[in-house]
Amino acid sequence: MRRTLVAVVAMAVITPVALVACGKDDKQPSAWVGTPSASASAGPSATGREESATVPIDLAVTPAAGKTDVPVSAEIGFKVAGAKVTQVTLKDSKGAAVAGALREDGTAWVPAAPLKTKQKYVASVVATTDSGQTATKSTTFTTMGKPGRRTGTGLYLFDDKTYGVAMPVVVEFSPGIKKANRAEVERRLFVTTSPAQPGVWSWTSNGTQAYYRGPEFWKPGTTLKVRVALGGLPTGGGRYGDRDRSATAKIGRRFEMKVDNASKKMTVLQDGKTIKTMPVSLGKKSTPSSSGTMVVMDKLVHTIFDTTAELGPEEGYRTPIDYAQRLTWSGQYIHAASWSVGDQGRRNVSHGCVNVSPSNARWLFDRTLVGDPVTVKGTGNELAYGNGWTPWDKPWSEYVKGSALPVPASLK
């Protein structure tokens, strides 16, 4: 189910839940990036000879000839019978070739970047039979001007960074994408994994985020290459995607944290082996911790938890915090808590966070990566889907139901 692009021979083608928990700071994780027909008769062959009547080639190309106000996200689409597309060429009004690649399913050719506004383009598609006969179909179209309304987008992934094995590819939309428009948006979200691993996109109910993950955690050492190709794409309601975004990142070693409310301990595993256990204190009865599978979203050596704006000066608090690792949008963290060391391993006294001693907090902070999985169980308060990067909190059979595109039977 990888949304990948395959090179084809051609001329020069080569957002948060408003809840209150332990810490409610408005800073988002630093990984936010800025916000990657009908059939027609066969034409003459590339050699100038007419095709043999015994080997008909039906080839149709989009956008239609003479079409105007074409979105700058336009792909060169085609339908072909009796042959295979072997070459796609796209040139701008100055005759410069545009780079791009063929979709893996062979249904269209996708430019490597959004086209320019208010410009005429000429596309040429060549189809070839097994016997070497060819047919060429060309089309000329003009792109639209700059749109007035845009959908803001973001990609929680940085180039050349290393993430934990549970790091989902997270794309955010503002405003959210309605169900009727999600399939077309999802078709423009491309992920390539090396070594190759299956994956599926899945949407949150309000359409503000789409996650990409596989049935299992990524293999350590995996390279993730992502292109969110939404620049100029119609996203519904008269809006268009603000820009393309892309990133290439690495997956590190397998490091997991498992917290059990019954024992009030955290078990830390690396590559499947327990390397440390430590006592914890979770959320007290009035402010319970969420149970579920989360990932580390952000890491802050020093920060301040300030809830006075939401809870008022009497109930709110403003507290300096060290070694904070964010787990939810609502403010659940793992962090140092010297004031609860006597309670850790014995009783829950926090405002929803996972309290650990300063020395244990520093030990964890020095070893964790954004994207490391954290599982909390037994608190009686279930994690709300979308409150953080939560795709691992659903079993695979449920997760894939959130895809806007058909999921292959082999991946269900």
Picking from 203, 210, 208, 211, the residue whose alpha carbon sits closest to that of residue 175 is: 208
If one counts every other C-beta atom within 10 angstroms of the C-beta of residue 96, the result is 9
Cite the beta strand spans of 129-254 per DSSP E.
134-143, 150-156, 162-163, 169-174, 189-194, 200-203, 209-213, 223-228, 234-236, 239-241, 245-251
Report residue 74 as tokens.
């336009």
User: 């597309």: which residue's tokens?
Assistant: 85
CB 128 within 8 A of CB 86: yes
Which amino acid is present at 271? Answer: D
Across-strand partners of 83? none
Q: Are strands 318-326 and 373-377 parallel, antiparallel or unpaired?
A: unpaired
Determine the distance from the C-alpha atom of residue 395 to the mean position of all C-alpha atoms in its chain, rounded to a whole number: 18
Report residue 148 as tokens.
């007035």
Picking from 150, 154, 151, 153, the residue whose alpha carbon sits closest to that of residue 32 is: 154
CB 288 within 8 A of CB 354: no
Residue 51's alpha-carbon distances to 10, 136, 161, in angstroms, are 21, 11, 52
Residue 187's alpha-carbon distances to 179, 210, 406, in angstroms, are 14, 12, 11
- Where are the alpha helices (H) located in 146-227, listed in sequence order? 179-186
Residue 335 bears catalytic tag: yes
Query: Residues 22, 302, 335, 351: which is the catalytic one?
Result: 335
Picking from 374, 370, 406, 366, the residue whose alpha carbon sits closest to that of residue 393 is: 374
CB 59 within 8 A of CB 127: yes
SS3 89: strand
Residue 353 bears catalytic tag: yes
Query: Residues 22, 302, 351, 353: which is the catalytic one?
Result: 353
Phi, psi of 335 (to 5 degrees): -160, 165
Any residues with CB less than 8 A from the CB of 238 and at least 6 apart, and which? 148, 149
Any residues with CB less than 8 A from the CB of 341 and at least 6 apart, and which? 357
Residue 266's alpha-carbon distances to 96, 273, 293, 370, 380, in angstroms, are 59, 14, 14, 18, 17
User: 């014995």: which residue's tokens?
Assistant: 346
Active site residues: 335, 353
